[in-house]
A and B are shown apart, each in its own frame.
Chain A
Amino acid sequence: MAVETDFSRDEKKLTIKVKGRFDFGRHQEFRSAYERQPERPDTVVVDLKEATYLDSSALGMLLLLRDHEGGDDSCISVINTSSDVRKILAISNFDKLFDIS
């Protein structure tokens, strides 16, 4: 599975883990990850520890996720980013929209 999800009831936190290439091919799976949750989480964490590559479709998917979780009211962090991934996120200044680490 290239996209794994984990929902923690106590923390009301949804964790989405993306493995391998985070590109256009992951579109369906990524959307299902947050659209099919029965409860709305308070926070969402996107774990990119095992992600090897990120392109503009992935940035688009993050924007869709943010829009789904309330846009400006959302609270989404992107964690375990490699330096390459961080560079891509930095050029687009996505740290202004997401908490990136």
Chain B
Amino acid sequence: MPADQALRVLIAEDGAADRLLLAQIVRRQGHEVFTAENGEQAVALFAEKRPQLVLLDALMPVMDGFEAARQIKALAGQALVPIIFLTSLSEDDDLVRCLEAGGDDFVAKPYSAVILGAKIHAMDRLRRLQATVLEQRDQITRHHHHLLNEQRVAKAVFDKVAHSGCLRSPNIRYLQSPYALFNGDLLLAAFTPSGDMHVLLGDFTGHGLPAAVGAMPLAEVFYGMTAKGYGLAETLREMNAKLKRILPVDMFCCALLLNLSFQRACVEVWNGGMPDGYRLSASGELLATLASRHLPLGILAPERFDDSTEVMPLGVGERLLLLSDGVLDTSDEQERLFGVERLQAVMAENLDPERLFDDVLQALKRFGGRARDDISLCDIRMVEPGFEAPAAMLYSDSGRSSPLDWSLGLTLRGDSLKRFNPVPYLLQLLQEVHGLRPSSGVLHSVLSELYSNALEHGLLGLDSGLKRDASGFAEYYRQRAERLAQQVDGDVRFDLRVEPHGQGGRLTIEVRDSGAGFDVEQVLARPAHEQGFSGRGVNLVRRLSQHAQWLEGGRCARIQICW
């Protein structure tokens, strides 16, 4: 019976005739044979020739088979070198000795070529199996090191992406477990040109690299659009469309987005799939919950995506607490969850806002939960407007071409008013004028204010007097959504003119609506703090720009900025 593979076989047998016979039998089966007369020779020969299989006589002079077997196994190390004992020992004790010494099988005298061939074949299969296992183990170890390294690099990149915003702003406190990003948790914050703050707390499905990979395109959209002055709704639409396009069907991103307007002391909220956020008073009392009303991002096609947001007032000193589900899902040994009630209890008991995070973490630890590595907590405080100037936008042009003498008219009619927000485009255009770049923030605020007033008060006829309290806010925005959904009659027109003026230039903006107008004289005659309630942004606009006027019976707002 020829063997599949020629092996190197060591035969140690003290009987000369037996040795001769055995060597011949094994050679005939196609193997290369080395012979030894005693145990000592056997061990030496093994070390020199490194055979793949050993046939050992149990009883030999100088060093017996048992000792030789032990030494050979030691020399072999992790690799399997099968040892077949040649023995006529019949007592169980003797056979046990063979096994304990490292023997893998026995062969009795008289030698049978058939039996020997079968045993060699079987032992060789085992040997090759062991070799494969060791090789695969080494391969796995190498791959593992590769993976760890890749993750290290990826994490470094992601950290840059995720933290290029304004999370270090003094009114934000946050806590993220070190591998939160690697478990799909994302926390982004950025200022709009007008000084509003957009915040996103997200949670991608899955863990590790696949979850974190979706974070990059999402962060890009978030930062890019926020910096250009786009609103929450448009940013949400883009983020959803992008994720829907690039992520596999079963992956999505739960997200909670905020638009904090310090000037208007309110916050706009969109929550798709994240746990409730909480609105807290300055003393930590629970005022409202920011509940999930939408499907997470990346699931619905653009036509079906719902970008409607909730707006609520947020006074100076009030706070918003956001968290990822790692907090609520922390479990104890009995697999009970920490849950919402326990969290709310901690919030209620907390006396010092600075210590809220510590209180939560302590409570989690006391609960007996295993420390999870995907906990994200974020505490945002509403502050006075203008407390911190947002970082200047970076421009990537050469600074050589700056249009200095031009005008533009843009009229939006009917259905265009429903979804399209012209402000970011106009702002981008104006930023082509270098002299206007330092005023980006002002321009964004003024354009947004004038546009929303023209639309909401001029065309939709909403009463800003509603916006005095939380329920009024809710009612105002409900009406806004309702009226916008219906047929919108009328139009809003922008006229921009840039012309040289003295050493620099002058920008004139006129915003007209086809609505009923308002009694300008009357509003301007009121005391300053009451003017704010007209809803015409009169205070804001006058504060920010030079020469603010209201003409044509209140239907046209006109401002000028010189540089």
Known contacts being A56-B205, A56-B206, is A63 close to B299, with CB within 8 Å?
Answer: yes
- Interface residue? B501 (CB, 8 A): no
Contact yes or no, B295 A96, CB < 8 A: yes
Min CB–CB distance B492 → chain A (angstroms): 33
- Interface residue? A101 (CB, 8 A): no
The docked-state distance in angstroms from the alpha carbon of A67 to that of B247 is: 14
The docked-state distance in angstroms from the alpha carbon of A23 to that of B206 is: 11
Contact yes or no, A92 B296, CB < 8 A: yes
| Residue of B whose beta carbon sits closest to that of A96 | B295
Interface of B is mostly: loop
| Residue of A whose beta carbon sits closest to that of B251 | A60
- Which residue of the partner chain, among A57, A61, A91, A97, contacts B299 with CB atoms under 8 Å? A97
- Interface residue? A2 (CB, 8 A): no
| Residue of B whose beta carbon sits closest to that of A24 | B206
Contact yes or no, B272 A93, CB < 8 A: yes
Contacts of B295 in A (CB 8 A): 92-94, 96-97
Contacts of A63 in B (CB 8 A): 249-250, 252, 299
Residue with the highest number of chain B CB atoms closer than 10 Å, among A61, A64, A91: A91
- Interface residue? B254 (CB, 8 A): yes
A residues 65-101 touching B (CB-CB < 8 Å):
67, 72, 91-94, 96-97
Q: How large is the interface on B (under 10, 10 to 19, 20 to 34, 35 or more residues)?
A: 10 to 19
| Residue of B whose beta carbon sits closest to that of A62 | B250
Contact yes or no, A93 B250, CB < 8 A: no
Contacts of A56 in B (CB 8 A): 205-206
Contacts of A59 in B (CB 8 A): 205, 252
Contacts of B250 in A (CB 8 A): 57, 60-61, 63-64
Contact yes or no, A93 B205, CB < 8 A: no
- Interface residue? B273 (CB, 8 A): yes
Min CB–CB distance B347 → chain A (angstroms): 19
The docked-state distance in angstroms from the alpha carbon of A60 to that of B252 is: 8
Contacts of A94 in B (CB 8 A): 295
B residues 243-275 touching A (CB-CB < 8 Å):
249-252, 254, 272-275
- Interface residue? B292 (CB, 8 A): yes
Contacts of B294 in A (CB 8 A): 93
Contacts of A61 in B (CB 8 A): 250
The docked-state distance in angstroms from the alpha carbon of A56 to that of B329 is: 12
The docked-state distance in angstroms from the alpha carbon of A94 to that of B205 is: 15
Q: Kindly supply a per-residue 1/0 record for chain B positions 273-313, scoring 1 wherever the CB is within 8 Å of any chain A CB and 0 otherwise.
A: 11100000000000000001111100101001000000000
Which residues does B use to contact A, with CB under 8 Å? Answer: 205-206, 249-252, 254, 272-275, 292-296, 299, 301, 304
10 A-B pairs, CB-CB below 8 angstroms? Answer: A56-B206, A60-B205, A60-B206, A63-B252, A64-B249, A92-B292, A93-B294, A93-B295, A94-B295, A97-B295
